[in-house]
Structure 1
Amino acid sequence: MLDVYQNGPPNGHIIVQDIQHFPASFVPKMEYGPFKKFFYYDYEVVPTMQIKGMHFFNSNPKKDDIVGVLESAVLKSLLPLVSLHESVDDLVKYVPKECLPQDYGGLLDTSDTLHEKSKSELLKNGAFFEWQDQLTVDESKRPANNTIAQNMFGFGK
């Protein structure tokens, strides 16, 4: 939210994830509700932040597991945006090198350097997060029985 506050909403975004170390044993333990809510909010509620694509790479031995997770956790309308790539070489055909860190053959700083810069930026802007934490919702204006939100994600009574 800090970036949106500072620069305005982006014209969509692309999710890129290295899943080389994604443990297959993690799949049965996953809770899909939070993922569904994230994707619904991101894709349906905030159109300026829409997901333009999702690229998962280093996926060869885990393709079936990943597809199963995505089918359970992602909105059906997003599934056509999902691409599984066996390697970084395949990924760079779809994601420009200007958008990837050096460790993945890109032109940006290394992942570690980008991580440190992000941490530094978050710490430098602590006042923003304190202000954001103070924002509250007037619960008296919330509809009393919001069954749409409950049932939409399979959590209805």
Structure 2
Amino acid sequence: MAPLPPPATQNRDPNPRFPFIDGADGAAAATCRPEDVQIIRIWMKRQPHLPTISDAFISLFLHSVYNSIEQAKATIETYFSARTAAPEFFKDRNGFSEDVQFSYKTAHFTSLNKKTPEGYRVLICRLADFDPSHLHFNDVLRAFFMFADICISEDGVIPGYITIFDLKGVVLGHLPKISLPSLKKFMIYIQDAHPVRLKAVHLINCVPFMDKILAMVKPLMKNEMINLLQLHSNGLDNLFKTIPQEIMPEDYGGKDKTMAELHADYKKLMETKYLDWMKEEEEHLRTNEDLRIGSKSTSSELFGMEGSFRKLAID
């Protein structure tokens, strides 16, 4: 009897431009052991639905979970499955598309040029257009994930990230624009799939209706994420105890560029250096559910049932 053929796989050579556009040097700071990388690679070969990725990519996943092999496997599975199951965030990531361009006018995403003394990169996200009618939630999240991918590619493996969400300009009229199923997908991805070490999340310029915002978000947060959350309602003195003011943008009394200038820098990267990179990422770094052993992964299975409650009702 002839031997059975090997199981079908995606069978692509790993692209050295992912996750770091400039190659494997992006993983130079990773502390994982080469043998652990090989354990993950052997495991991935037994998962025919997963794409083939570089050693640098595997090192990034291991680093993000403090070199836990089992957690790295779970993160890899969720990362690629989520990117396949949530096309509203991870499809049509063209930097020149009308939706992406509009989102980059609606919100500013910036990465500070200098790191904290601990080596953490600080990211700041805020509204640039305060008109609630201009907020297209899914498009803004798509733009955010493009920004986040660029940050990882540019930074390489680093000790961690601190994210600041500036709530200046947020009004009650923004809340009905938030899709709760999309918010849930976002939170699942950030907590279970995003391959970075998140060190803190700061909400600054907190609004009087923070109770309504937290009522939406907190049920979607794991205890580990809740412990990272810090709210700032009365000035930024406490923020500057952990993030030196001098590395902040000029808008916040720092010595870095203005938020608008920093945002423009990343927008330019998206439109030039990363334009084709985003297209390649979408083409090659997704699951092939036809090859998955067992039942296919679906959006409802990965993120939970969406139900009919799609928008927040404001009392």
Settle same-fold status: TM greater than 0.5. yes
Question: Structure 1 156/19 Cα, relative in aligned 2: closer, same or farther at 3 Å?
Answer: closer
Shift of the alpha carbon at 1:96? 2.4
Distance 1:6 1:92 in 2: 25
Shift of the alpha carbon at 1:70? 2.3
Distance 2:156 2:230 in 1: 28
Of the structure 1 ranges 15-24 and 72-81, higher mean CA displacement relative to structure 2 is found in 72-81
Whether contact under 8 Å (2:160, 2:196) holds in the other structure is yes
Question: Please, which of 261, 275, 283 is the counterpart of residue 134 of structure 1?
Answer: 283
Counterpart for residue 168 of structure 2? 20
Counterpart for residue 63 of structure 1? 210
Shift of the alpha carbon at 1:113? 0.9
Pair member with larger Rg: 2
Question: Structure 1 44/130 Cα, relative in aligned 2: closer, same or farther at 3 Å?
Answer: closer
> Counterpart of 1:13 in 2: which secondary structure?
strand
Question: Structure 1 26/132 Cα, relative in aligned 2: closer, same or farther at 3 Å?
Answer: same
Q: Does 2:225 align with 1:78?
A: yes
Between the two proteins, the alignment pairs up a number of residues equal to: 155
Distance 2:305 2:295 in 1: 17
Shift of the alpha carbon at 1:107? 2.3
Q: What are the superposed Cα offsets for residues 102-156 of structure 1, whole Å, 9 maximum, x if unpaired?
A: 1012221110110111111111212212222322532212342547x73564317
Shift of the alpha carbon at 1:31? 2.0
Tell me, which stretches of 5 or more residues in structure 1 are unaligned? Answer: none
Shift of the alpha carbon at 1:100? 1.9
Q: What are the superposed Cα offsets for residues 74-102 of structure 1, whole Å, 9 maximum, x if unpaired?
A: 33431121111012334222322244211
Q: Does 2:260 align with 1:112?
A: yes
> Counterpart of 2:241 in 1: which secondary structure?
coil
Question: Structure 1 119/146 Cα, relative in aligned 2: closer, same or farther at 3 Å?
Answer: closer
Distance 1:27 1:53 in 2: 24
Q: Which has the higher helix share?
A: 1
The letter for the 2-side match of 1:33 is: P
Question: Please, which of 113, 116, 123 is the counterpart of residue 271 of structure 2?
Answer: 123
Distance 1:66 1:91 in 2: 20
Whether contact under 8 Å (1:43, 1:50) holds in the other structure is no
Q: What's the TM-score once normalised by structure 1's chain length?
A: 0.78
The letter for the 2-side match of 1:137 is: T
Whether contact under 8 Å (1:42, 1:49) holds in the other structure is no
Whether contact under 8 Å (1:27, 1:69) holds in the other structure is no
Whether contact under 8 Å (2:246, 2:253) holds in the other structure is no
Counterpart for residue 41 of structure 1? 189
> Counterpart of 2:209 in 1: which secondary structure?
helix
Question: How large is the RMSD of aligned CA atoms in angstroms?
Answer: 2.7
Distance 2:226 2:174 in 1: 21
Q: What's the TM-score once normalised by structure 2's chain length?
A: 0.43
Whether contact under 8 Å (2:289, 2:297) holds in the other structure is no
The letter for the 2-side match of 1:2 is: I
Whether contact under 8 Å (2:290, 2:296) holds in the other structure is no
Shift of the alpha carbon at 1:29? 4.3
Show structure 1 runs of 4+ deviating over 6 A: none
Question: Please, which of 304, 307, 311 is the counterpart of residue 154 of structure 1?
Answer: 304
Tell me, which stretches of 5 or more residues in structure 2 are unaligned? Answer: 1-148, 308-315
Whether contact under 8 Å (2:164, 2:201) holds in the other structure is yes
Shift of the alpha carbon at 1:49? 0.6
The letter for the 1-side match of 2:222 is: L
